[in-house]
C-alpha cells in the first residue's frame, strides 16, 4: 500500500463534522486534509498546495454579513490560481453554482452529497490538474519535447502532426510542410530544427514569395564582390548562413524554374556557388520547406520540377486548417486573449459567451494568423472586462466546403459526436458540468461518451 505522503492531497473545506468524517474516509486514493473555516482552509492551502479542493459554499457568513463560502473561494484562488475548486451548494444551488463558476470554480455538486458522483468529479479534477501541470513543466523546460508545447491545441488532428514532427526531427531528412496560409508552418519548421541534433546551429527562414525573382538567387546563394552593380563586398546567402543548421524555405512553390535547377544541384551535391564565384563551397544545411500550393498540379503543368519535389519532400507533413481542428478556435482565442491582455496592459479578462459562440461558428479562412489578429484587435477595442462578439468584428460565417461524411450512419454519428464534444469541452475550459449543460445531457452521459470515444478532458 502506498505511503500516505505519496498520495495526492485533497483539501475538504466543510464545517459539518459528520460530513467531514464521511468525506475523510470516502477517498482511499487521496490524502484528505480537513478545514472547517476560512483560516484553516487558507493555512492548509499554504501548507499543502492541494491540486483539488472541495468547498461548501454554505459556510457561516462573515461578521459583516458577506458570504464566507465565496470569500474562501476567492482567497483560495488568489493563493493558488491553478487549484481545481469543486463547490457544494444546497439552497439556491443553480445561482450559487453559476456565481462560483464565474469566480473561477472548476465544478460543483449539490447537497446532499452523493459520494460516487462527487468521486467522479474529484477524479476528473485531479486528472485535469495533472495534465495542466505536465504542460507547464514541458513549457518551462525549453528545448526537447517542450518545443511543441508552444503549439496550443487539443485536436487529435494537430496532435498527430506534432507526433510526426517529434519522430522525423532527429532524422537528417528534408521535410515538406503542406498547409494553408496561417496554419503555423514556420512554427513547426522551427520545431523540426529545435528537436534535431542541429539545434545548436542557425535556423534561417526565407519567404520565397516575398522576394523578387531577380533577387531571390542572390538571397539564397549569395554573391561575390563585383558580381553585379552594387555588390561591394562578398556576401554569403541563406543556404550558406544555415550551414550546420536548418534553412526554412517558405512558399517554395514560388521559386522560378531556372532557380529550381540550381537548388536541385545543391540538394544532390551539397555544394553551392555564389553569384560571380567559381569555387564550389561545401555546405551542410538541412532543408525544411513549406507551401500552400498544389505541387502535384504544378508538376503536371511543368511549373515545378518533379525531381526537385522528391528531394524536398522526403517526409511530407500535412497541416490541418483551423476549421478542421474542432474546439481549437476557442482554445486558441482564450490563449491569445491572455497573451495580448498582458502584452498590451489591457484589463481584459476573457471572452463573453456570445464571442465564444462567434469564434466557434466562424470558419477562419485565414486560420490561426487571422484568429490571432482578430483577438489582438478585440483586446485593444474592448470597452469592458469581457470581449463581446461585436469586438471581434467578424463577417458573416463563411460556409466552407462540405466535409465528406461517412456513409455508415454509426460512423457519421461518431464523427459528429466527437466534434461537438470537443467544442463543448473547449468552450467551457474542460468543465464537465458546463460542457454537459451546453450539450443538453447529464454529466454521467457525457462521461460515458468521452470514455466511448477516448476523449480526455
Does a structural domain hold residue 133? yes
User: Three-state secondary structure along the chain?
Assistant: CCCHHHCCEEEEECCCHHHHHHHHCCCCCCEEEEECCHHHHHHHHHHHCCCEEEEECCCCCCCCCCCHHHHHHHHHHHHCCCCEEEEEECCCHHHHHHHHHHHCCCEEEECCCCHHHHHHHHHHHHHHHHHHHHHHHHHHHCCHHHHHHHCCCCCHHHHHHHHHHHHHCCCCCCEEEECCCCCCHHHHHHHHHHCCCCCCCCEEEEEHHHCCHHHHHHHHHEECCCCCCCCCCCEECHHHHCCCCEEEEECHHHCCHHHHHHHHHHHHHCEECCECCCCCEECCCEEEEEECCCHHHHHHCCCCCHHHHHHHCCEEEECCCHHHCCCHHHHHHHHHHHHHHHHCCCCCCEECHHHHHHHHHCCCCCHHHHHHHHHHHHHHHCCCCEECHHHHCCCCCCCCCCCCCCCCHHHHHHHHHHHHHHHHHHHCCCCHHHHHHHHCCCHHHHHHHHHHCCCCC
* 377 and 395 share one domain: yes
| Mean pLDDT, residues 195-204 | 92
| Mean pLDDT, residues 64-90 | 80
For residue 22, give its domain range: 4-139
Predicted confidence (pLDDT) per residue in 172-189, tens digit:
899 999 988 888 899 899
Predicted confidence (pLDDT) per residue in 223-263, tens digit:
888 777 777 788 888 999 999 999 999 999 999 998 999 99
Predicted confidence (pLDDT) per residue in 153-172, tens digit:
777 788 888 889 888 999 88
**Domain final residue pick, 112, 139, 166:** 139
**Domain final residue pick, 297, 318, 339:** 318
Does a structural domain hold residue 344? yes
What pLDDT shows up at residue 134?
A: 63
Does residue 279 register a pLDDT over 60? yes
What's the number of domains the chain is made of?
4
The CATH number for 21's domain is 3.40.50.2300
| Mean pLDDT, residues 283-291 | 93
* 176 and 295 share one domain: yes
Identify the residue with better confidence: 371 or 443: 371
* 347 and 448 share one domain: no
| Mean pLDDT, residues 66-76 | 80
What pLDDT shows up at residue 177?
A: 94
The CATH number for 385's domain is 1.10.8.60
* 159 and 291 share one domain: yes
Does a structural domain hold residue 144? no
Does residue 56 register a pLDDT over 90? no
The CATH number for 418's domain is 1.10.10.60
Does a structural domain hold residue 145? no
pTM score, two decimals?
Answer: 0.57
* 169 and 309 share one domain: yes
Does residue 208 register a pLDDT over 60? yes
* 211 and 126 share one domain: no
What pLDDT shows up at residue 6?
A: 73
* 332 and 262 share one domain: no
Amino acid at each position: 500500500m502506498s505511503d500516505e505522503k505519496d498520495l495526492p492531497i485533497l483539501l475538504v473545506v466543510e464545517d459539518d463534522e459528520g460530513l467531514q468524517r464521511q468525506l475523510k474516509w470516502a477517498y482511499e486514493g487521496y490524502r484528505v486534509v480537513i478545514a472547517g473555516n476560512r483560516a484553516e482552509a487558507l493555512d492548509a492551502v499554504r501548507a499543502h498546495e492541494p491540486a483539488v479542493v472541495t468547498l461548501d459554499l454554505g459556510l457561516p457568513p462573515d461578521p459583516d454579513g458577506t458570504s464566507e463560502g465565496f470569500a474562501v473561494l476567492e482567497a483560495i484562488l488568489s493563493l493558488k490560481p491553478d487549484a481545481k475548486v469543486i463547490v457544494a451548494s444546497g439552497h439556491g444551488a443553480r445561482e450559487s453554482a453559476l456565481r462560483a463558476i464565474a469566480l473561477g470554480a472548476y465544478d460543483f455538486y449539490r447537497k446532499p452529497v452523493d459520494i460516487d458522483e462527487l468521486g467522479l468529479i474529484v477524479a476528473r479534477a485531479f486528472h485535469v490538474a495533472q495534465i495542466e501541470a505536465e504542460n507547464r513543466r514541458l513549457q518551462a523546460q525549453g528545448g526537447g519535447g517542450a518545443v511543441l508545447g508552444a503549439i496550443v491545441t487539443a485536436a487529435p488532428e494537430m496532435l498527430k502532426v506534432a507526433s510526426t514532427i517529434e519522430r522525423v526531427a532527429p532524422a537528417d531528412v528534408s521535410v515538406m510542410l503542406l498547409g494553408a496560409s496561417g496554419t503555423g508552418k514556420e512554427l513547426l519548421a522551427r520545431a523540426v530544427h529545435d528537436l534535431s541534433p542541429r539545434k545548436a546551429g542557425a535556423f534561417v527562414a526565407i519567404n520565397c514569395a516575398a522576394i523578387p525573382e531577380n533577387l531571390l538567387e542572390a538571397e539564397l546563394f549569395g554573391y561575390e564582390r563585383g558580381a553585379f552593380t552594387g555588390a561591394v563586398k562578398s556576401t554569403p546567402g541563406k543556404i550558406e548562413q544555415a550551414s550546420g543548421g536548418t534553412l526554412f524555405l517558405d512558399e517554395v512553390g514560388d521559386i522560378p524554374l531556372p532557380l529550381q535547377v540550381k537548388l536541385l544541384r545543391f540538394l544532390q551535391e551539397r555544394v553551392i556557388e555564389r553569384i560571380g564565384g567559381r569555387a564550389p563551397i561545401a555546405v551542410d544545411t538541412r532543408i525544411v520547406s513549406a507551401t500552400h500550393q498544389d505541387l502535384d498540379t504544378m508538376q503536371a503543368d511543368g511549373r515545378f520540377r518533379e525531381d526537385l519535389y522528391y528531394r524536398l519532400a522526403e517526409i511530407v507533413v500535412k497541416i490541418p486548417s483551423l476549421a478542421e481542428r474542432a474546439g481549437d478556435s476557442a482554445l486558441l482565442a482564450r490563449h491569445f486573449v491572455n497573451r495580448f491582455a498582458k502584452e498590451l496592459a489591457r484589463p481584459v479578462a476573457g471572452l463573453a459567451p456570445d464571442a465564444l459562440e462567434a469564434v466557434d461558428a466562424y470558419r477562419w479562412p485565414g486560420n490561426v494568423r487571422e484568429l490571432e489578429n482578430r483577438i489582438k484587435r478585440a483586446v485593444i477595442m474592448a470597452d469592458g472586462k469581457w470581449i463581446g462578439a461585436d469586438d471581434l468584428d467578424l463577417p458573416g460565417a463563411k460556409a466552407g466546403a462540405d466535409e465528406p461524411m461517412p456513409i455508415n450512419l454509426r460512423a457519421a454519428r461518431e464523427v459528429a459526436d466527437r466534434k461537438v464534444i470537443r467544442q463543448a469541452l473547449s468552450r467551457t475550459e474542460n468543465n464537465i458540468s458546463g460542457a454537459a449543460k451546453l450539450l443538453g445531457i447529464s454529466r454521467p452521459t457525457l462521461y460515458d461518451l468521452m470514455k466511448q470515444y477516448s476523449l480526455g478532458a
